[in-house]
Amino acid sequence: MQDVLHALFFVTAFGALFLAVIAAEFVYVRRSGKSGVYHPRETVANLAAGFSYKIVDGIAVALFIQAFYLWVYQYGLQWNPAASAVSILALIVFIDFCFYINHYMMHKVRWFWSGHITHHSSEHMNFSTALRQNFTFAFSGSWVLWWIPAALVGFDKNWVLLAIEGNLVYQFFLHTEQIRKLGVLEKVMNTPSHHRVHHGSNAAQIDRNFGGIFIFWDKMFGTFRSEDDAGEIKYGVTRMPEKPYNPLYLQIHGWVEMAQDVWRHKDLRIIYKHPEWVDEQYGDQQAALAKSPLIEKI
């Protein structure tokens, strides 16, 4: 019960902070005479998706993710270092590396992408876009790649929870066009400039800049693209959702479409191949398939 209360506290405290920042950005762009930054219906959809995601995710963390963490912990190295500047920094860097792997896999495996596509389906970049998440994340299993390596190393679960929440809070502030370049920080840290590239749907922008707090993972593993070299950024995904303002549709259409593809082609490889593999494999046959009666009712 204590873990559930902690989860609800995180939702309430950071939810209030995020809403305040969104409101401040909205006022700023209005007073600056800028247009096209916020779209009212899209913003409402973002907020609704974010609320459902964080409630479900918080309860999932409290009810079974931390329990699984503790079960794995007993079989790991059980390092459990004392609190110090070095151990805290090591945890922050390690958790961010695990996020990089998790994030990369969410783009490369159709099962994981079916939930993550929600976050990329916004046509605008503003702080509310950060909240455009998917409540099915807790059930997709990709969180294992983020949480469990730390259990095997032996970090305290409460430390890990704080590190992950801190990582997510940092990433919230990457979703804006109002901050351009941050000088020398661009070399090491993930910044709004780097993250704008990540949200682009043009060829030079797809599957780039996966880092959470740090950008050097992308530079190390060849997934980095500077905004200066990315061309004009078009936000969204290559195949935009048909109902971009319906929060429920936004969070389940990826799963429905994946299930459709598996059923139609009788090919389970679709589940673990990259998201575009079905189009590459089945070509015109895939493009000609009829829309789903189920998803059109949502």
The rounded distance, in Å, linking the Cα atoms of 3 and 58 is: 9
Q: What are 16-73's pLDDT values in tens digits? A: 899 999 999 999 999 999 999 999 999 999 999 999 998 899 889 888 999 999 999 9
The rounded distance, in Å, linking the Cα atoms of 164 and 172 is: 13
- Provide CB contacts within 8 A for 61, sequence distance 6+: 3, 7, 138, 161
Percent helix, percent strand, percent coil in the chain, to nearest 5: 65, 0, 35
Q: What is the pLDDT of residue 6?
A: 63
The rounded distance, in Å, linking the Cα atoms of 224 and 32 is: 32
- Residue 46, classified by CB atoms within 10 Å of its CB into exposed (0-12), middle (13-18) or buried (19+), is buried
Are the beta carbons of 116 and 231 closer than 8 angstroms?
Answer: no
Amino acid at 93: V
Q: What is the pLDDT of residue 14?
A: 81
Does the pLDDT at position 250 exceed 70?
Answer: yes
Q: Hey, is 214 helix, strand or coil? A: strand
Q: Indicate the DSSP class of residue 225.
A: -
Q: What is the pLDDT of residue 37?
A: 95
Q: Indicate the DSSP class of residue 37.
A: S
Q: Per the structure block, which two tokens stand in for 213?
A: 């707090």
